[in-house]
Structure 1
């Protein structure tokens, strides 16, 4: 199902966008707001971006992603932002972005209105946060002021100077709406910034179609693919599918690794950290090539008076990683979960290579990363990989 979206007309959005882009280009920032043959772009170079593209017939599409506010890209269950989208959208671009979880919003304009796939109002898509600067004239004027103060580094110390910048921004935007931006309008606003390159600003304005005799670029209509992958599992659902399979798995029958000095060193460290001074200590850990986490057992290692908060954990991490390296085998791989319990004279150890042990809690949110698990499985012989390995394939989350 679709829903209407309250946005300015495409031409007005475009004019504001192109005005900001040309102004920033004129002072040396040509890759934040910019225009090319594929449309108008915004990229904050921190993971948030947007693109506005015009097509013939008063059609347009606006799409993008905000790294902090596009909850639509990671909802549980997933949202297909392209459900009900029209044939003429740039499908090749949109499908690739959706597959990579880098599509937070898609809205399209046709027959005089903006539309999008319907989803709950409390699910943020990041549109306002990403392109807010062009959603109203006031926002655009504020952004043009920041071109001077923030990007250009020019301080407006008096009310009169602020009024002058405001008036210059209003004149520039008005001339852009008429499609008659000239050098004087840029000079009036940007002349305060020493780095002004008037020719660069005018060239960018021409590319944006806001100077006399120019028009904004149009993209050709796209074509909906006959079949496309649609996410059926969210990232969280995919994780939980793998974790559930790990909990159902059984350990393959591999030989135990030989005792090593690294194991003895870990046991000695644990006895030295026994809270009761009786050598009783328990360590529960998960480890892979790039991450390690620990859970408190029945007798967790004790902190020592005067040491830093994380000192014991840092020491444990070093000892566990050393043990894991020492016990690694190119055929059988490396264990993922480890439980060690010590007494004053002895110790017990359990290693889990292929399954999620019953003593490791599952909160449904945190657990081994699928990419890390895949790396671990790739380091084993095929016959020593448990059945749930096939679930690590990213394609499992999509249909068909």
Structure 2
């Protein structure tokens, strides 16, 4: 089932988007509201992202995701969508909303009761001319006037945006060349035209994401926490292990040789958490010098203990004392002593690389969850 959406006509939405993008680019803030050969873009690390593209005639498509968008498994946003949407662009994405304009109206999939996609909050500066003028005035700062912002938007609507109009609102410090480059790409200056994308083609079968990237991560991490270690021989003692133990004793926080290391490492990343007795920095040492040295020692040990059959460990715990040491390695599971904040954890691509370097007999059962297809369900 589809429903209508109350949005400005595509031409008005485009002009407001491009005017705001040109002004911000002229002030050195390129990349938030922007224009390229595929259309308009919004990228805000705090609130979300959106893309807007014009097609032939009066057709257009608006899609993106905000921090309040529904999760991927709550709704198939492309059920009943028209064949001409840019399917190649849409299907790989984790989407929070998809809205299209055809036959004089905006439409989207009908949501469940109470479900909000965050689109109106994300695009609030564009929903009315007054909102756009307010956003332009905020960008201009104390030197701008509402009248100048209104005149700049009117020039853009007529595709007559000029350097003088930009300077009137934004002052002499504005980079009119950068601003006009955006305006030209957007069709806001005489002799220019807005970019349009060709109609797409609906795939015979498409993938619908049922898990967001974060949900897929947490599925894998939960399975790692439930897993047990496979049986494999302990690695032999090495000089690299002795070097790490010596360094930990030398950096004992109480100076008595007692120290605790909790570490995670894979081929490209390293992280450490504070145990009961974390290593202390040397007095007067450069900031992060100790962490860099610890990273080097752990990585060197991991390489030395690697085995083409059994693989390499992912988690390492070492507890030293003046005369002893306890070591725990985890190859296949997320240990209870490694804190899970629900947000950060091993990258699935890094885990897959590690698992590919082992014999199949030494790959834990959760490896199957690393397959990207786990996050999708096929549908017509």
Please tell me the TM-score bracket, short chain as reference.
0.7 to 0.9
With structure 1 as the length reference, what TM-score do the two structures score?
0.70
CA contact (8 A) 1:21 1:204 kept: no
Question: What TM-score, normalized to structure 2?
Answer: 0.73
**Alpha-carbon shift at residue 399 of structure 1 (Å):** 1.0
Deviation string for 1:1-37 (max 9, x for gaps)? Answer: 655433212233244456667899999x99974475x
Shift of the 19–310 alpha-carbon distance from structure 1 to 2, 3 Å rule, reads closer
Equivalent position of 1:153 in the other structure: none
Partners of 2:21 and 2:264 lie apart in 1 by: 49
Question: What residue is the counterpart of 2:86 in the other structure?
Answer: 90
Partner of 1:63: 63
Partner of 2:236: 258
Is the partner of 1:284 in helix, strand or coil?
strand
CA distance in 2, matches of 1:209, 1:264: 68
Choose the corresponding residue for 2:353, options 372, 375, 381. Answer: 375
- Are 2:270 and 1:287 equivalent residues in the alignment? no
Is 1:114–2:91 an aligned residue pair?
Answer: no
1:396 aligned counterpart, secondary structure: helix
Q: Secondary structure at the match of 1:229?
A: strand
User: Larger Rg: 1 or 2?
Assistant: 1
Question: What stretches of structure 1 of length at least 5 have no aligned partner?
Answer: 151-155
CA distance in 1, matches of 2:315, 2:134: 55
Provide the secondary structure at the position in 1 that maps to 2:350.
Answer: helix
**Aligned twin of 2:280:** 303
The residue aligned with 1:351 is 329
CA contact under 8 A between 2:72 and 2:210: conserved in structure 1? no
Query: Of residues 212, 219, 229 in structure 1, which corresponds to 2:207?
Result: 229
In 2, the alpha carbon distance for the partners of 1:305 and 1:164 equals 61
Question: CA separation in 1, counterparts of 2:310 and 2:79?
Answer: 45
d(CA) in 1 for partners of 2:350 and 2:203? 33
Find the counterpart in structure 2 of residue 8 from structure 1: 8
1:293-342: CA deviations, max 9, x gaps?
A: 33444x42353685678665454333322222222233432211122233
2:77 corresponds to which residue?
A: 81
Q: CA deviation at 1:140?
A: 4.1
| Counterpart position of 2:53 | 52
3-state DSSP class of the match of 2:81?
A: coil
Q: CA RMSD in A?
A: 4.5
Corresponding residue for residue 40 of structure 2: 41
CA distances 1:140-166 after superposition (whole Å, capped 9, x unpaired):
44667799x69xxxxx96x8xx58845
- Note the alpha carbon deviations across 1:38-82, whole angstroms, 9 max, x for none: 6x42366989552232454x54322245xxx44538x37565432
Structure 1 residue 229: Cα displacement: 0.7
User: Partners in 2 of 1:119 and 1:288 — Cα distance?
Assistant: 42
Q: Residues 127 and 93 (structure 1 numbering): CA distance in 2 closer, same or farther, change over 3 Å?
A: farther
Contact 1:281 1:301 in 2 (8 A): yes
CA 1:111/1:397 → structure 2, altered by over 3 Å: closer, same or farther? same
Q: Residues 234-254 of structure 1: CA distance to partner in whole angstroms, max 9, x if unpaired?
A: 223322322233234343333
Taking the aligned partners of 1:343 and 1:139, their CA distance within structure 2 comes to 65
> What's the secondary structure of 1:242's corresponding residue?
helix
Q: Distance in 1 between matches of 2:36 and 2:347?
A: 38
Classify the secondary structure of the residue corresponding to 2:98.
strand
Taking the aligned partners of 1:392 and 1:361, their CA distance within structure 2 comes to 21
Structure 1 residue 398, shift from structure 2 partner: 0.8
> C-alpha displacement at 1:261, in angstroms?
1.8
